[in-house]
Amino acid sequence: MAELRLLLVRHGESEANHERRMQGRLDSPLTQRGRRQAGAIATRIAAMGQLDALYASPLRRAFDTARAIAAATSVAPISLPALMETNIGRATGISWDDFAARWPQHASDIRRGTEHASWPYGESRRQLGERAAHVIDDIVARHPEPCTIAVVSHGGTLRWVVANLMAGTPLAHPDHRFDNCAVTEVVLGHGAPLIACANDATHLAEIEQEEAYADQVP
């Protein structure tokens, strides 16, 4: 395989993120902070060199983040429904504490990462893992030539994407962290896959500094 750089990006902060509600397929828009984060990751990716393709979940918080990247790189985003976040069923839109109180066994299984863990009337851990594997395998198969691809999705889905990409290595697990608009770069094509950077949010430092300063101003 020719060298393939995959830039994996979680969407910017959404309204539900800010309200600490679980989203799943809830189509929550970006907050003002999330839009600034999207602009920052767009500038970061544009500075990393030529971008050859851009894929995104169709949910607004992800696709609007991808639109910001598109504006900075002149690469139109391609919507892939398989990149959507986990279907969390009846837990959609509520807090984790409310979920754990209503469905304690589901919550316990999910927290422990058991193989049969599932959301009430939603996806199971296994179903999400299989979906993420299929979509990233399809993206990789579309690009046999040396290139750089950005994928904008969601924390749950991206964790399994990385697990699949790192198959056969100690990093083939779904516990990788994805903060809002952080980037994880995975490089394929030189033997074992390589994580060049993980959950890198250094491009968001200015936003965080400004917020910290604003909190200190009386």
Residues tagged active-site: 11, 85
- How many Cα atoms occupy the beta-carbon half-sphere of 26 within 13 Å? 19
Residue 204: exposure state from Cβ atoms within 10 A (0-12, 13-18, ≥19): buried
Q: 160 Cβ partners below 8 Å, 6+ apart? A: 128, 129, 131, 132, 133, 174
Q: What are phi and psi of 46, to 5 degrees?
A: -60, -30
The rounded distance, in Å, linking the Cα atoms of 30 and 15 is 6
Q: How many CB atoms lie within 10 A of CB 25?
A: 17
**Are 8 and 155 contacting, i.e. CB atoms less than 8 angstroms apart?**
no
